[in-house]
Amino acid sequence: MPERIKVFVVDDSAVVRQVVSGVLAADPAIDVIGSAIDPLFALEKMNRQWPDVIVLDIEMPRMDGITFLKKLMAERPTPVVICSSLTEKGAATTIEALAAGAIGIVTKPGIGVRRFLIEEAAAELIHTVKAAAGARLNRLPPRPASAPAPSARPAADPLTPRAAAAMQQTTERIVALGTSTGGTQALEAVLTALPRTAPGIVIVQHMPERFTASFAARLDALCQIEVREARSNDRVIPGRALIAPGGRHMQLRRSGAQYVVDVSDGPLVNRHRPSVDVLFRSVAKGAGRNALGVIMTGMGDDGARGLKDIHDCGGATLAQDEASSVVYGMPREAVKLGAVNRSVPLGAIAGEIARFG
């Protein structure tokens, strides 16, 4: 990460440009080198001094953010943080931007931008920009030319007699994944490679509220397994992956012979809600040696202590290796804590999950 992070802000709202620039400039590690109303004006300015991170709006005149992002990643890859509105359309477009190579998301409301950013989101904006500055874009998994069409899936409910009998046993395998910066692309690479017979999966991806539903829907359309945003009392069964909703914690518990999840409010843990540690600790308690915990690319240490709990309960643990991590923060902390059995490249994680099941 550079000593001072050079940031450029692109947004068609003068108020947003002013407030975002002011919040970032107040941090001594950040230097806001400019702003522009749209990508074309931005390119003119940035060509004189190129930034380390771009904070980018999606909907702008002359050139939209998605078009600009794709052009940028093809010609001069640069970490991009999307500044997105809290709307259903904004969420879906932002997920498209993440798939195209954006590193993180910060949100803005339709009204009250100044108060919102200053009072509620300033710390998160600064944290996200710093995480983006440390990202290594050459480690993003390659994007397929076109997404493969998944074959038809059998309905997950109700359970077949054979599956129901398996659920009565206490050896049902559970996989828990935790990730943050760079994780949306990494999760897509892992989940799209899994067969329908993969064990049940629970996932925390650090992401703001209202975005995880669109993220899960995108993955569900690409994957052989079922992927959806979790709801309380959802069963964790083979062939299904549940993603914790943004802004809420998710925990695993055993209900009789079944695994289910609880989704709840609660305080931030390690600055996050959902928190990987909250999920992993519940997996250690509920599944123990029948669990595989996997910690992937991300900034900070969320998940390290929870992965250690899984490890100490006799569960299997993996970390994404440094060479394939966009940000080798969370995996590094888990390794330092002695929580990791093995570190493996991103491309090997799907195979490890399939074999574990």
Q: Is 242 exposed, middle or buried (0-12, 13-18, 19+ CB in 10 A)?
A: buried
Residue 206 annotated in active site? yes
How many CA atoms lie less than 13 Å away from 96 in the CB half-sphere? 15
Which residue out of 27, 220, 302, 309 is catalytically annotated? 302
- From the candidates 35, 180, 275, 343, which is the catalytic residue? 180
Q: Catalytic residue among 127, 206, 249, 272, which?
A: 206
Q: How far apart are CA 84 and CA 107, in angstroms?
A: 5
For the record, the structure tokens of 77 come out as: 């890859």
- Dist CA 169 CA 352 (whole Å): 22
Instruction: Say what angle helices 39-46 and 65-75 make with each other, to 10 degrees.
Output: 30
CA distances from 8 to 56, 77, 100, 107 (A): 8, 14, 19, 17
**Residue of 216, 220, 218, 221 lying closest to 204 (CA atoms):** 216
CA 324, CA 179: separation in Å to the nearest integer? 13
Residue 180 catalytic? yes
Active site residues: 180, 206, 302
